[in-house]
Amino acid sequence: MTTDFYNELQTLYIALSKYPSYSDYFYKENYKCFNNNYFFLKGERTKFLEKLSNISINDIYSDSYKKEIGFPENYLNQKLINFDENRICIIDGLGPIIYYYILNNFKSELNEFIKQLELTKEDSRGYIKLDNGYLKFHYVEFFEHWVKRFDGNENMNKLIHLFTKTKSNVININLNGEIEVNEKKIIGYIETLQHFNFENI
């Protein structure tokens, strides 16, 4: 995934994650319809959304996941995007689909990230602690030193950006000034990716 395309997608994900703050939209069945002049519906992002207009919910999820969730049939057959005059109608749940599409492009990086966390737990040298699925670095500087092991890996840098600079809440700083890495959440992502089919995107 190129840097430009990643930037387009993560900006789209962030925008879709906070769209309830926008007032100029209306509901239409399972869609929220926006004025297509909103910043997150312009340029290259619009081209990507046009591709999604040919893909349905049914195309995205695995049969086992659809059965487990019990999606209504009319929802499964709806396209991810509908263009309606000067509006773009986005199906509820597209934000997470975009997020998992990004993660799908970084599968090997996800596995490597978990591997490095496990190695760090084996040789913590006192600068981390484990707490209910979180790996906590005592100081920001310790975390910054730790991520240097990924220098030169552009996809890993994008993944770390996704975990730290968007609304993913995977890597945060807590009230004690510690960097918290939600390892349990990352492992959950890897498992959930098995339920997606992105071959047509």
- pLDDT per residue as tens digits for the range 109-145: 999 999 999 998 887 777 888 888 889 998 899 999 9
Looking at 68, 103, 138, the residue that finishes a domain is: 103
Asked if residue 121 and residue 76 are part of one domain, the reply reads: no
Q: For residue 177, what are the domain limits?
A: 106-192
Is the same domain home to 72 and 123?
A: no
Domain boundary among 103, 134, 149: 103
pTM of this prediction?
0.89
Tell me what pLDDT residue 80 has: 94
Q: How confident is the model at residue 41 (pLDDT cuts 50, 70, 90)?
A: low
Asked if residue 165 and residue 91 are part of one domain, the reply reads no
Give tens-digit pLDDT for 160-175. 999 998 888 899 999 9
Same domain, yes or no: 27 and 75:
yes
Q: Tell me the pLDDT tens digit for each residue of 53-104.
A: 999 999 999 888 888 888 888 888 999 999 877 888 889 889 899 999 999 9
Report the C-alpha gap between 199 and 201 in whole angstroms. Answer: 6
